[in-house]
A and B are shown apart, each in its own frame.
Chain A
Amino acid sequence: MTPIGWNNPRVRSFVYQASVLAAVIAIVWFFAATAQENLQRLNISSGFGFLDNTAGFGIIQTLIPYSEQASYGRAFLVGLLNTLVVAVIGIVFATLFGFLIGVLRLSNNWLIAKLAAAYVEVMRNIPLLLHLFFWYFAVLRPLPGPSESLEPLPGVLLNNRGLILPAPVFDAGAVAFFTAVAAAVAAGIFLVVWARRRQRATGKRFPAWRCAAALVVLLPALTWFIAGAPFHLDFAVATAFDYSGGMRLLPEFVALVLGLTLYTAAFIGEIVRAGIQSVGKGQREAAASLGLREGTTLRLVIIPQALRLIIPPLTSQILNLTKNSSLAVAIAYPDLVAVFSGTVLNQTGQAIEVIAITMAVYLTLSLITSLAMNWYNARIALKER
């Protein structure tokens, strides 16, 4: 019996853990203090005050109001939103397309299955950066200059400066219209859920989808006419070199989404294939013997079971896509890395702060994504009762 109860495993483990904790804190402290001291010695500015300084540079795609007089903090938000919009759109497209590829690869049609297999092998074995360059210059090459713009529809212009659409401008009364849309969608969802419950409970069927669709179309349409069409379109006007006004989809954006989607979809396709093949053959045969059709079997029997295997690796792919979007700067799409840890870092010289903020953003985005996917995974996981 030692005086401090060393033989007590709980005491011992506490001592070990506390020592490790103290060591980690001391090391972090040591690095932070050394960095701070060196920065001061070398006369390099530090601190986060620069975020309020005037940025003074332009950004080609801004989802929130931004001008050269805005602050670095504002430029950061612009970059963050540009990253988010690419990531979200990329994730949606890559997941849908990846599922399609995964299912097609298992098709009984020889040609389709082989085409899907070839797609996967080609796409996933080419580095992403090359994808981006390829798609960027592939998108640019066939497009004409602004003076020879294609006009597939009146007001819709396509040239190598982007796809220019008329921008909707909301007038007074638009609020009522948007409220009506939201209300109709909410009511529609409620209707579908209610109908499903009632069918389960009583077996009575109700044409919920059709009713919901009618609701979503009719209610906003009615408000539209009552409010007197609270929109007008802002058409692009030709200038010396280009067009001004309207909405614009940049070629850089299209190339980035295209590259990220096609690349990630190849990986997701393989994950989906693995998931589906993991479901026992007996399940399919059982479904067939119940008289379910091929599509219905896939939707109601195979996919729900396959999802349990698909979701965890799918989460990794989604995280990869978000992080890979940081290659955007190579093709001049102004994402967070291009704007913030590119231009802002260079103009302020505050590498530690800027990189720390950028890392914190990607970490936060990844953790939020993981959290959401883990929640979904827990929901669909096999529940053993």
Chain B
Amino acid sequence: MKNPLVALIAGILIGAGGLYFFLPYDPLTLGGGAAQVSSGAAGDGAERASAGETLRRVRNRGFVQCGVSQGLPGFSSPDERGNWSGIDVDFCRALAAAIFGDPAKVRFRPLSAKDRFTALQSGEIDILSRNTTWTMSRDTQLGFDFIGVTYYDGQSFMVRKAAGIKSARDLAGGTICTETGTTTELNLADYFRSRGLSYKVLSFEKNEEALVAYDRGRCDAYTTDASGLYAQRLKLTDADANMVLDDVISKEPLGPAVRQGDPQWEDIARWTLNALLNAEELGITSDNVDEMLESGNPRVRRLLGREGAYGEAVGLRPDWAAYAIRAVGNYGQMFERNVGTETPLGIKRGLNALWSDGGVQYAPPVR
């Protein structure tokens, strides 16, 4: 054993042999084994393994971990005392109420546009309710499922009134400020490229700095979803000197997303949103929900858990929807309270009205 090579080989064999027992699978057949796991089990085995896991984890933890924005009035923004409000925030409260019967059992995790997807993928949050646009690539390539649309939005521009800009076309050659890591960067490129117009884009990590840069005149326009523009306009030094263009250059259906692979959790989130929409359609509000429990309307009775076992099917109590509605009201109440015409944002229902009122908000029935 004077030969170091022999000793080296012996060492590797001993070391590898020892480790072999600690590995959870056979490393020698790793290539084939991993492929087998993914092709055979991605469909059923792996998913079944994690089905119900999220709800179980949330229950054990005692609260829902909800990913929200770092501060977008009307959607998710904290006040001076750290209380969050907004549509996205209310949706998470409704979810917590549906699960625990208590809308306070939710914690909000502010995320930048850049970090939000990784936070959901890694399991740091249970649901991403952060004015996030539902797109095909996000739905199919990131390992997420979007559970519905909480707000139908579209990208637009904020400009200075004095600049004499009437439509987005007039911005050709101008500089546009935005936030990095959003669909807005791509829509912007599509819009100007398809019209053969030039533009310059300044992408900031946070929208605060983008807005300050716009305010200081570094850019001719600030772009994000129209709802965001109305909110951000209020933060400018002279809000009245600025206006939001009527042009909408993209479809931005904003909605909450969950991780793929846990159909139960996905169902809970999807039907919580549907319950809020159905509640508005059926005229159930946070104020009359307790009277409505006695209603004779079978649609109301099913939604509030007086008939059928719809809650049990997703692992919740029968009257889960009643708790959600009691906590945040129906969709219409949630909208008006956070972004509606009575709020500083002053946004009309428009596309977000129920289908029966000329909008596109339409929830499948509970039955």
Contact = CB atoms under 8 A, between A and B. Distances in A.
Interface string A241-260: 11010000001100000000
Contacts of A18: 7-8, 10-12, 14-15
A252 B202 CA distance: 9
B201 to A, nearest CB: 5
Interface string B111-123: 0011001100100
A4 B7 CA distance: 8
Contacts of A11: 1, 4, 7
A2 to B, nearest CB: 9
A103 B225 CA distance: 54
Q: How large is the interface on A (under 10, 10 to 19, 20 to 34, 35 or more residues)?
A: 35 or more
Interface string B190-201: 100100001111
A5 interface: yes
B213 interface: yes
Interface stretch (A137-145, A198-206, A374-382): A137-145
Given A68-B193, A137-B212, A338 B185 contact: no
Q: Which 5 A-B pairs have the closest CB atoms?
A: A18-B11, A22-B15, A19-B15, A5-B1, A346-B181
23 contacts: A4-B7, A5-B1, A14-B11, A15-B10, A16-B11, A18-B11, A19-B18, A20-B15, A22-B15, A26-B27, A29-B27, A42-B121, A44-B141, A68-B189, A140-B213, A140-B218, A160-B218, A239-B173, A241-B220, A242-B175, A334-B203, A338-B180, A347-B137
Instruction: Pick the most buried of A18, A29, A36, A140: most chain B CB atoms within 10 A of its CB.
Output: A18
B349 interface: no
Nearest to A5: B1
B19 interface: yes
A349 interface: yes
B219 to A, nearest CB: 9
B210 interface: yes
A218 interface: no
Interface in A1-54: 4-5, 8, 10-11, 14-23, 26, 29-30, 33, 36-37, 39-45
Contact of A41 (B11, B30, B46, B141): B46
A132 to B, nearest CB: 10
A19 B11 CA distance: 6
B175 A8 contact: no
A251 B202 CA distance: 11
Given A241-B173, A242-B174, A349 B15 contact: no
A191 interface: no
A244 B261 contact: no
A347 to B, nearest CB: 7
A346 B182 contact: yes
B185 A241 contact: no
Contacts of B261: 41-43
A57 B12 CA distance: 50
A243 B190 CA distance: 22
A137 B205 contact: no
A384 to B, nearest CB: 34
A57 B34 CA distance: 36
Contacts of A16: 11
Contact of A330 (B8, B177, B209): B209
Nearest to B174: A241
B172 interface: yes
Nearest to A342: B180
Contacts of B202: 60, 252, 332
A214 interface: no
Interface string B162-192: 0100000011111101001110011011100
A105 interface: no
